[in-house]
């Protein structure tokens, strides 16, 4: 049990460091990933921001009969997090659904990924 938590912590730190390095400036722009896992560490779904073309992909990773919903949100000081666009992947495990949204430099964004079996996960990024 302890080994699983250490592995999760290391993975979370690695993702955080890569996010900070990838979003430092436009010259170092990179794709951003959000992984949704259950309590046992099994990947339920994933969401990817493909920086080249501002495309978002919502992956269903687990054959559990439940869809995965990925949303793009932006932060505004007056209202907090506002959902801009969502896509539900109910196509089955091993597939992805995609949508496009023009991400603007200078705004704060986050991806939110949800599944009926586990709590939602979020990952912040900027252009």
Average pLDDT, the chain: 82
* C-alpha 48 chain-centroid distance: 6
Domain count, the chain: 1
Give residue 127's pLDDT: 80
At 22-76, the pLDDT tens digits run 444 443 568 999 999 999 999 999 999 999 999 999 999 988 888 999 999 999 9
Q: Residue 48: give the domain boundaries.
A: 2-125
- Residue 19, number of CB atoms within 10 A of its CB: 18
Say how far apart CA 114 and CA 122 lie, in whole Å: 9
Three-state DSSP state, 22:
helix
State the CATH number of the domain containing residue 116.
2.60.40.3080
């Amino acid at each position: 049990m302890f080994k699983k938590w250490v592995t999760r912590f290391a993975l979370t730190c690695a993702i955080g460091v890569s996010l900070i390095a990838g979003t430092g400036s436009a010259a170092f722009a990179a794709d951003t990933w959000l992984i949704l896992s259950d309590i046992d560490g099994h990947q339920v779904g994933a969401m990817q921001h493909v920086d080249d073309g501002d495309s978002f992909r919502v992956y269903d990773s687990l054959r559990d009969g439940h869809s995965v919903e990925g949303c793009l949100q932006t932060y505004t000081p007056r209202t907090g997090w506002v959902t801009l666009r969502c896509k539900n992947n109910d196509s089955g495990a091993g597939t992805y659904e995609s949508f496009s949204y023009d991400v603007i430099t200078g705004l704060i964004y986050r991806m939110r990924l949800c599944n009926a079996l586990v709590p939602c996960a979020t990952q912040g990024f900027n252009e």
